[in-house]
Amino acid sequence: MSVRILVRVLVLLASLGGLLTATPALAQQDEPGSKDHPMVSRMANYYISNYATREFNAFGFLVGDDKEQRVEGKYWQIDYWLKDNAKGASMLEISRNYRNAFIAKGGTLKYVDNDNVHTVLTLTANGSELWCDVDVSNDGDVYTLTIIEKTIMAQQVELSAAALAKALNDTGSIALHNILFDTGQATLKAESSKELQLVIDVLKADATLKIEIQGHTDNTGVKAANLTLSQQRADAVRDYLIKTGGIAATRLTAVGLGDTKPVAPNTTEDGKAKNRRVELVKK
C-alpha cells in the first residue's frame, strides 16, 4: 500500500472514530531520519509522519482538471500530521501559505482545485526546476508534499559494442538515444562521441555490415522542418563515421524521417524524448 493511500485510510478511520492510538502517527515527533525539504518548510504544529526520497523518480502533477504532467528528477514525499491538541490550519490556509511562499520567490501556480485539496507549484532556483504538489486532507489535519527537482537521470547502464552488434543481428535495428545534437541544429554534441565510437567498433569488426542511419524527431514544430532537420542529423552521423571512423561511404546510407515513425506518444516530454533518436538499420 502506498504512503498516500495509507494516509487516506488512517484519516478515514479517524473520521469514523477508529482507534489510532496504536499507530506511529501519534508519536508526535518526526519519523526517524526524516527532514523537511531544504527549500520548502512546514506549517507550524505539524510533524513528519512518513518520509520517502529517491535520487530519481517520476510523479504526475495535476496541471488542469483531469490533466497531468509527468516530471522526473530527485523525489521527496513528506506526510505532515497535526500534533494532538495543537491549533491546525484550514485546507485553504495551507494551500495559500505554500502558494504565497512560492510566488514570493518568483515561482508559479500551475494548478489549484476548487476545494484546495491539490495545489501544484513550480520554482526555478539554483539551476534546478522544482515542482511541488500540496495534497491536503481531513480538513487540514494532514497534508502531503510531493516534490520533484527536475533533472536528467544519471545513466548507469551503458550499451556495449557487443550488445549493439547483437541487436543489429537479432532484430535488424537499434535506436540510439545518446547521440545528441544542439537544439534545433544538426551539430553533434561532444558527449555523442562515446556512442558513435561503439558504432565505429561494430562496423570495423564486421567488414560486410552495411547500415542505414535514420534520423527521427518528435512532433514539435513544422513537419517539413522536422523532416529536413532529421535528414541533416542523419547526414551528420554518416559524415562522422566516414571522417572520424574511417568507414567506407559505400557501407552507409542516411535518411531523415522526421516525426513520421514515433515509438511513443508525443503527448508527454518522456514520449517526445523517446521519439528523438538516431536509429541504425541493418541493410
Which residues lie closer than 8 Å to 20 by C-beta, 6 or more apart?
Answer: 10, 13, 14, 26
Asked whether the beta carbons of 80 and 7 are under 8 A apart, the reply is: no
The tally of CA atoms less than 13 A away on the side-chain side of residue 121 is 24
> What local confidence, expressed as pLDDT, does residue 254 receive?
97
Please, what are the domains in the chain?
Answer: 3-150 (no CATH), 161-282 (3.30.1330.60)
Q: pLDDT at position 124, please?
A: 85
Q: What is the pLDDT of residues 27-59, one digit of tens each?
A: 589 999 999 999 999 999 999 999 999 999 999
Q: What is the Cα Rg of the chain in Å?
A: 25
Q: What is the pLDDT of residue 154?
A: 55
The pLDDT, as a whole number, for residue 12 is 43
Grid cell for residue 90: 484550514
**133 in Cβ contact with 176 (< 8 Å):** no
pLDDT of residue 22: 37
Q: What is the pLDDT of residue 82?
A: 97
CA 217 to each of CA 8, 155, 214, 283: distance values in angstroms, whole numbers, following the listed order: 42, 21, 10, 22
Of 143, 141, 32, the C-alpha closest to 77 is: 143
State the pLDDT at residue 157. 53
For 190-240, the pLDDT digits (tens) are 989 999 999 999 999 999 999 999 999 999 889 999 999 999 999 999 999
Q: Write out residues in the chain with pLDDT < 50, as ranges.
A: 1-7, 9-26
- Whole-model pTM: value is 0.52
